Amino acid sequence: MDTSPYEALAEAAADGVDFDGLRAERQGGQLSVETPEATLTAPAETPRSALAEISKYVENWFFWHQTAPQAAARWAFLRWLEAADANGVPERYDALEDGVTCSWGQLHLTVSLDADGQRRYDLRHEADAGVAVADLERYEDPRDARDIAKLDADGEYRPLKAAPTLRGGWVFQDLDAASLVSTVDFFYPATMENWHRECEGDLDISHWHETMARQTGIYGVIETWDRQAGHEHVEWVAEACCDDSQCLKRREWGYDAETPLETDGGSGIFPCREPCSVVVSAARQWTKQEGEEARTYEFELTPSEKEQLETIVDAVADGQVEDIRPADVRNEANQLRVRFLRAKLFDDDGDLGGVPTENK
């Protein structure tokens, strides 16, 4: 008895099939099929046995047209995952026997074939790529990804889903194609769609200036800063927020359509099409800060103390503080060395050099 992939091909061949090296036409009760390796004919009513030698082509066509999600971005993502456009069907199926892997942000994805030759997907944190499934917490429902992505490894809330702070220790195993793309979307919302739009040359970018012009209420002050400071301040914002250490997206927006930013936009695979809510919120705080009148303060520091303060700022900005061992007093950002600096330079009111921040 014919299986559904062969029956589906025979039906579709009435309108012609041309996909991944498989060509099929149906005239009357006869099915003509061609691949790079063979040219075959089969009865349209019972094609399975006659087409057995090109079963991979038939099953591949069936998967992409009858099983895989048909939404353009998700379909393209699944094709990208197994390098479908770079390899022929036989080579691809040989690779799928062993499993094909790739990364998407901090996700490690694997697609392979089960005992029935059907694609199945494994999804886990990239740090757990080599960890046995038995040592990971297993999930099946794609919606569980929302809870996993909510907090980092320290239990802190993650306001930015693209931040490189996704916690590990979990696995979604044996997913079908629809569940796989849904799970990815819960981890990184809209990234497949924006990636696909960019691939198609149709990414709609909202630059800084136009995004800030839309801000109202408490965020409307940013537009005032934007008019007064020009685009230099946006370079500072991008340097602070749009780095691989802070966000896994690749910034594609600039100051405006005619003014790109010199600051590197990151190396992520999926693009950032507009300033996100975290950037806007941070920019509001910087707007208030930059609105203050500059003042001159005078301190006395040794050259080593000046260098130590510079090292401390870098360590905090680059997230290296927790990596500094308590006993590593050679590191200028070591907690004991910082406490010594505070004891020496700060007065009882917490003023550096005894100099108050405001004139008294």
Transcribe 201-261 into DSSP letters.
T------HHHHHHT--GGGTHHHHHHHHHTTHHHHHHHHHHSSTTT-SSEE---SBTTB--
pLDDT above 70 coverage of the chain, percent? 94
Indicate the DSSP class of residue 63. Answer: I
Are 44 and 129 in the same domain?
no
Over residues 269-286, mean pLDDT: 89
Domain boundary among 229, 257, 290: 290
Q: What is the number of domains present in the chain? A: 4
User: Quick one: pLDDT at residue 132?
Assistant: 96
For residue 353, give the amino acid letter.
G
CA–CA separation, 32 and 42 (whole Å): 7
- pLDDT tens digits, 27-56: 989 999 999 999 999 999 989 999 999 999
Band (pLDDT 50/70/90 cuts) for residue 72 is very high
Contact 55, 118 (CB under 8 A): no
- pLDDT tens digits, 294-352: 888 888 889 998 999 999 999 888 888 888 898 888 899 888 888 888 888 888 888 88
List the CATH number of the domain containing 254. 3.30.70.2320
User: Quick one: pLDDT at residue 1?
Assistant: 44
When the pLDDT of each residue in the chain is averaged and rounded to a whole number, the result is 91
Domain boundary among 238, 257, 290: 290
CA–CA separation, 286 and 263 (whole Å): 18
CA–CA separation, 345 and 31 (whole Å): 88
Are 154 and 138 in the same domain?
yes
Are 28 and 145 in the same domain?
no
User: Quick one: pLDDT at residue 360?
Assistant: 46
191 φ, ψ (degrees, to nearest 5): -70, -35
pLDDT above 90 coverage of the chain, percent? 65
Q: Is 186 helix (H, G, I), strand (E, B) or coil?
A: helix
167 pLDDT higher than 60: yes
130 pLDDT higher than 80: yes
Bridge partners of 138, per DSSP, are 171
Q: Is 122 helix (H, G, I), strand (E, B) or coil?
A: strand
Tokens representing 67? 């099983």
Are 335 and 303 in the same domain?
yes
Are 77 and 190 in the same domain?
yes
CA–CA separation, 127 and 175 (whole Å): 20
106 pLDDT higher than 80: yes
Contact 271, 250 (CB under 8 A): yes
Tokens representing 184? 């990815």
Are 97 and 193 in the same domain?
yes
Cβ-Cβ contacts under 8 Å for 97 (sequence gap 6 or more): 112, 113
For residue 42, the number of C-alpha atoms closer than 13 Å in the C-beta half-sphere is: 25
Contact 63, 121 (CB under 8 A): no
Range in 154-158, 179-183, 225-229, 242-246 with the lowest mean pLDDT: 225-229
User: Quick one: pLDDT at residue 154?
Assistant: 93
pTM given for the model: 0.86
List the CATH number of the domain containing 87. 3.30.1360.190
Are 118 and 181 in the same domain?
yes
Are 251 and 324 in the same domain?
no
Contact 30, 44 (CB under 8 A): yes
User: Quick one: pLDDT at residue 81?
Assistant: 97
Are 22 and 126 in the same domain?
no
Cβ-Cβ contacts under 8 Å for 257 (sequence gap 6 or more): 205, 207
User: Quick one: pLDDT at residue 335?
Assistant: 87
Band (pLDDT 50/70/90 cuts) for residue 133 is very high
User: Quick one: pLDDT at residue 292?
Assistant: 74
Indicate the DSSP class of residue 176. Answer: -
Domain boundary among 67, 83, 98: 67
Are 38 and 84 in the same domain?
no
Are 92 and 186 in the same domain?
yes
Bridge partners of 250, per DSSP, are 271
The range of the structural domain enclosing residue 153 comes to 72-197
Helices (H) and strands (E) in the chain, counts: 13, 11
Are 79 and 123 in the same domain?
yes
User: Quick one: pLDDT at residue 212?
Assistant: 82
113-117 long-range CB contacts below 8 Å, 24 or more apart?
114/174, 117/59
Cα separations in angstroms, 232 against 29, 210, 235, 246, 317: 71, 16, 5, 20, 20
